[in-house]
């Protein structure tokens, strides 16, 4: 289940509020300029799938978004707990950074946690399969996939170079909860 926890930027120990209804999450995030939508993620792709497989499965959705929003590039990040570079990839995204363009992700499998630092609040957003999040350019944020990542996210860019981060140098991300490893059904 998707979840939003809102904290004061000065206290990562106790959320000010918690939201689990998709409509509530979307409403809270919209108030700070963040797009959060529920989409259909029904194509059979699994973490570890190749970029070509994922793009082919979601080609019509990708093409529509590119047309509607002017995106110029698309890629896929697909990780499972056995990925040999999972620790290095996790570390790359864990520090607070911004982008000079919107960061748009559609989770077609698994989960990941976007944490947004907006004003004097921190918005910890657990994205699940079917969630689309659009973080506006210049928004301070970080992303956690846990120590045992399990997700596929389609990433759309207006910059043809793809993902380019501008790190803030702040240690704020270290003051807030990390994404725990997901329990697996037996």
The CATH number for 150's domain is 2.60.120.10
- Residue 186: predicted pLDDT: 35
Mean pLDDT of 34-59: 84
Residue-wise pLDDT tens digits, 133-155: 999 989 999 999 999 999 999 99
- Residue 14: predicted pLDDT: 95
**Does the pTM of the predicted model rise above 0.75?**
yes
Tell me, yes or no, whether 73 lies in a domain.
yes
| Whether residue 74 has pLDDT greater than 60 | yes
**Alpha helix locations (H) across the chain?**
22-30, 51-57, 59-69, 86-93
Tell me, yes or no, whether 86 lies in a domain.
yes
Distance of alpha carbon 18 from alpha carbon 15, whole angstroms: 7
- Its domain, for residue 53, covers 3-156
Name the domain count of the chain: 1
* DSSP state at residue 9: T
Residue-wise pLDDT tens digits, 1-45: 999 999 999 999 999 999 999 999 999 999 999 999 998 777 778
Tell me, yes or no, whether 186 lies in a domain.
no
Q: How many Å separate Cα 70 from the centre of its chain? A: 20
Rounded (to 5) percent helix, strand, coil in the chain? 20, 35, 45
């Amino acid at each position: 289940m998707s979840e939003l926890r809102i904290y004061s930027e000065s206290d990562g120990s106790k959320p000010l509020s918690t939201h689990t209804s998709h409509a509530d999450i979307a409403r809270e995030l919209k108030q700070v300029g963040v797009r959060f939508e529920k989409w259909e993620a029904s194509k059979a792709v699994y973490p570890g799938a190749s970029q070509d497989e994922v793009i082919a499965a979601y080609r019509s959705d990708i093409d529509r978004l590119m047309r509607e929003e002017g995106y110029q590039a698309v890629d896929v990040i697909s990780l499972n707990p056995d990925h040999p570079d999972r620790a290095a990839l996790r570390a790359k995204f864990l520090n607070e950074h911004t982008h000079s363009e919107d960061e748009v992700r559609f989770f077609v499998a698994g989960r990941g946690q976007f944490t947004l630092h907006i004003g004097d609040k921190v918005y910890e957003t657990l994205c699940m399969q079917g969630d689309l999040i659009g973080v506006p350019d210049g928004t301070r944020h970080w992303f956690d996939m846990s120590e045992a990542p399990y997700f596929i996210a389609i990433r759309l860019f207006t910059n043809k170079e793809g993902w380019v981060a501008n790190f803030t140098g702040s240690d704020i991300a270290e003051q807030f909860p990390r994404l725990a490893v997901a329990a697996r059904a037996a």
